[in-house]
Structure 1
Amino acid sequence: MRAPAKTEEELPLDDRGKYIYYEVMIRKGKTKEELIELAKAYFKSESAPKVNLLEKDSLYTGKGKFIINKTAFVLTRPSGEVRYQLYLDFKEGKYRFWLTDFCFIPYQRDRYGNFVPATSIGLPLEQKPGKLNAAEWTAYLKATTKEAQEFAAHLKQGMLADTPIIKPAAKAIPVQSTKNQKW
């Protein structure tokens, strides 16, 4: 197993010039199908991030987002979100995953005081900001690195389960009919 990158380091660039978080994990004794079922069960669980997996050949893809918070003194508020693309690939006894195509979408307050995306078009994290936003952009990169590492830690923990996570069955709610009742 490979240790995650240090928090202080920024994400490396891939061959396309995009930031990437990449890991290969070895699970001896697990078949490809078992690993796929574990991943599907993990992403269906309540504790997993909301990512819908789509299968393309043997590669699973999905889109998700991290919320980036800004802290001033004791108060914390969301300053934006970073959307990413997730890729999962499985082989006998090992799997790999990577997060890439990070785009930042700033938040603003709406007329009700809620924080909502200011625009639907994201700014790629690879794009260098001007001098005024350089410090904030560096903070966004550090927060994205931290969130990617936390995502990876949770995914690895979910994939360590020997059996897929099974949701408890919901109890049937008795149906009350109001037609033709004598009262």
Structure 2
Amino acid sequence: MKTLLIGLVGFLFARNAFAQQALLSFDEHNKYIYYQVVNMPALPADSLRERGEYFLKMAYPKTVVKPAGAESLKGEGKFLTYGGISVMRHEKGEVTYEVNIEFKDQKYRFWLTNFVFTPYQRDRYGNFVPQQGVDIPLETASSRLDKKELAAYLDETGAFCKQWGDKLKSYMLKVPAQKKEEPVKKVVTDKW
């Protein structure tokens, strides 16, 4: 009975670990991609775009937004990957990505792609900093990284993409708060 219970728990953990990698698929250029199309009934494209801009500005302020057309947003961002045991956890590297969001009436689509891993190393002061000149696309990382490390980075990337998509969906459902303009107080100098 114990072995059956332990086997079942092990199977569930293994299934959960492979579920994050399944979130990323390959596109027509053989690059990892996280892609979704979301329907938003009764919302025009311009209000969806405003909500998308608000999302990128508020939720991910370090994302560099590039100029795009009237019905799309493009940007670049990065997130850190961690390794080690719980007490000795530290940055193992960073993954940069590109994000594209396109809007149409009553729906939008988004995808994250071009994942590039930059490993970190310890500098002379004991801080973890990016290694200069070492950028590894995740598609070709199997030749430069261990299989276990690559699986961990793909799991973290899949989990980040899922979290990013869920957060975008929640921001798209909310109406952005309008800033209230306070009237300028005028000082009357002719009355004492």
Scaled by the length of structure 1, the TM-score of the pair is: 0.80
Q: CA–CA distance in 2 between the matches of 1:165 and 1:80?
A: 36
Counterpart of 2:80 in structure 1: which amino acid?
Answer: I
Q: CA–CA distance in 2 between the matches of 1:109 and 1:96?
A: 39
Out of 62, 74, 77, the residue aligned to residue 50 of structure 1 is: 62
- 1:119 has 2:132 as partner: yes
Structure 1 residues 52-67: aligned runs within 5 Å: 52-57=64-69, 58-67=71-80
Q: CA–CA distance in 2 between the matches of 1:160 and 1:89?
A: 16
What displacement does 1:51 show? 1.4
Q: In the alignment, which residue of structure 2 is the partner of 1:21? A: 34
Q: CA–CA distance in 2 between the matches of 1:7 and 1:166?
A: 37
Counterpart of 2:62 in structure 1: which amino acid?
Answer: K
Q: Is the 8 A contact 2:98 2:112 kept in 1?
A: yes
Q: In the alignment, which residue of structure 1 is the partner of 2:164? A: 151
Q: Is the 8 A contact 1:54 1:60 kept in 2?
A: yes
Q: Is the 8 A contact 1:41 1:166 kept in 2?
A: no
Scaled by the length of structure 2, the TM-score of the pair is: 0.77
What displacement does 1:33 show? 0.6
- Count of residues in Structure 1 that have an aligned counterpart in Structure 2: 164
Q: In the alignment, which residue of structure 2 is the partner of 1:140? A: 153
Q: Call closer, same or farther: CA 1:18–1:59 in 2, change over 3 Å.
A: same
Q: Is the 8 A contact 1:8 1:142 kept in 2?
A: yes
Q: Is the 8 A contact 1:10 1:141 kept in 2?
A: no
Structure 1 runs of 4+ with >3 Å offset: 165-169
Structure 1 residues 1-183: aligned runs within 5 Å: 6-9=19-22, 11-45=24-58, 47-48=59-60, 50-57=62-69, 58-130=71-143, 133-161=146-174, 163-166=175-178
* Structure with more of its chain in helix, by fraction: 2
Counterpart of 1:103 in structure 2: which amino acid?
Answer: V
Q: Is the 8 A contact 1:110 1:116 kept in 2?
A: yes
What displacement does 1:132 show? 6.5
What displacement does 1:121 show? 4.4
Determine which structure has more spread, i.e. the larger CA radius of gyration: 2
What displacement does 1:99 show? 0.3
Structure 2 counterpart SS, 1:7? helix
> Percent identical across equivalent pairs?
37
What displacement does 1:38 show? 0.6
Q: CA–CA distance in 2 between the matches of 1:143 and 1:10?
A: 11
**RMSD between aligned alpha carbons?**
2.4
Counterpart of 1:54 in structure 2: which amino acid?
Answer: K
